Structure 1
Amino acid sequence: MTGTAFSVRPRTAAPRSVSVAFTGLVTALLCGVGEAITYTAVQLDRPDADIGSLTAGLAVRGAIYLVVLGVAVHMAHGARWARIVLTFGIGVIGTASLIIEPLAATLSAREIGDLFDNLTAAAVITGIFRTGHILAVLVAIPAMYRPSARRYFHS
């Protein structure tokens, strides 16, 4: 299937913008893994920790992260379909899922100080991972659409 959105042809080298996009996506995935580990560690510290639920959650996240990594590899090799999937899956749905919770907390606070009342080390670490995740995606998605990347995906 040459010349279609699903074609992948061997290429000599990906342009820098595609390499930046791939690095951003891997960084986002690593931040997601860090956030998942932090969440799991906090939950395991509770006396009523539900090991089964935590295991299932980690399995689902792990599967999603592996699929995203696979799609990112295809994108790095020039697959146009992968760029589209990453744009909507990670750029839109994934980013929205990361922003909704902090945005809801911010909007429901009566005063700005309320946001810091129950601040824990785990919450700070989670916030750092989540911020890194969002920033990495905000670098990766536009990089996939730079002029050199567009030529790469359309050649």
Structure 2
Amino acid sequence: MEQPETVKNAALLWATAITAGIVETVLAVSEIARDSDLDAGVWMNIGVRSAVYLGAFVLVAFFARGRRWARIGLALLLSVVGLGAMVVPSAIQLADGESLIAAVGGDGEFAMAFFVVRLLHIAAVLLATALMFSPGANAHFRKPQPVTA
């Protein structure tokens, strides 16, 4: 079954978003490591994030293969929960008077890099979500599911 360009592009954008999340984690850990030792809490956070990113990549792989449940999973977990976790805290900080860069990127040495990567991350999620529910993708996901053993 040939997948439409919208599905291919959405999968690429999901991979971009997940990769941006990994880069954000590296930047945040680098900032922490500059100021102190990495304690057990930081390592636990890295472990949880690694599991989330791995799970997200698995969802993207199944989405790209035409699995409806993966599309729903991506929409709920990454488009709603993940995007909310990125945007809501920044919006609260903006409402409290923080600058845009501080609200999105923080105030450390890597603030500008984090800001740019976070904006890329948000844009990739929004575009991937739009593409995965575009008319071409909707038609693709309405087709009968392939039978697998």
User: Structures share a fold, TM > 0.5?
Assistant: yes
Cα distance between partner residues in 2 of 1:33 and 1:126: 11
Cα distance between partner residues in 2 of 1:15 and 1:130: 28
Sequence identity, in percent?
25
Match of 1:14 in 2: 3
Change (3 A) 1:112 1:86: closer
Match of 2:119 in 1: 131
Match of 1:51 in 2: 39
Change (3 A) 1:146 1:131: same
Cα distance between partner residues in 2 of 1:40 and 1:151: 42
Change (3 A) 1:130 1:112: closer
The structural deviation recorded for 1:16 is 0.2
Say whether 1:72 aligns with 2:60: yes
Q: CA RMSD in A?
A: 2.1
The structural deviation recorded for 1:120 is 3.9
Cα distance between partner residues in 2 of 1:133 and 1:61: 15
Task: List structure 1 runs of 4+ shifted beyond 2 angstroms.
Answer: 118-121
The structural deviation recorded for 1:53 is 1.6
The structural deviation recorded for 1:112 is 5.3
Equivalent of 1:37 in 19, 26, 30: 26
Provide TM-score, normalisation by structure 1: 0.84
**Can you give the 5+ residue segments of structure 2 that lack an aligned partner in the other structure?**
144-149
Q: Is the Cα contact below 8 Å between 2:31 and 2:109 reproduced in 1?
A: no
The structural deviation recorded for 1:153 is 0.7
The structural deviation recorded for 1:51 is 2.7
Match of 2:16 in 1: 27
Provide TM-score, normalisation by structure 2: 0.87
Match of 1:100 in 2: 88
Say whether 1:151 aligns with 2:135: no
**Can you give the 5+ residue segments of structure 1 that lack an aligned partner in the other structure?**
1-10
Cα distance between partner residues in 2 of 1:146 and 1:18: 9
Please list the CA deviations of residues 74-130 of structure 1 after superposition, one character each: whole Å capped at 9, or x if unmatched.
011100111111111111111010012211111111x759x59x8443111111111
**Number of corresponding residues:** 141
Say whether 1:88 aligns with 2:76: yes
SS in 2 for 1:45: helix
Change (3 A) 1:149 1:128: same
Q: Which has the larger radius of gyration?
A: 1
Please list the CA deviations of residues 26-81 of structure 1 after superposition, one character each: whole Å capped at 9, or x if unmatched.
0000100000000000101113x343222111111010000011011101110011
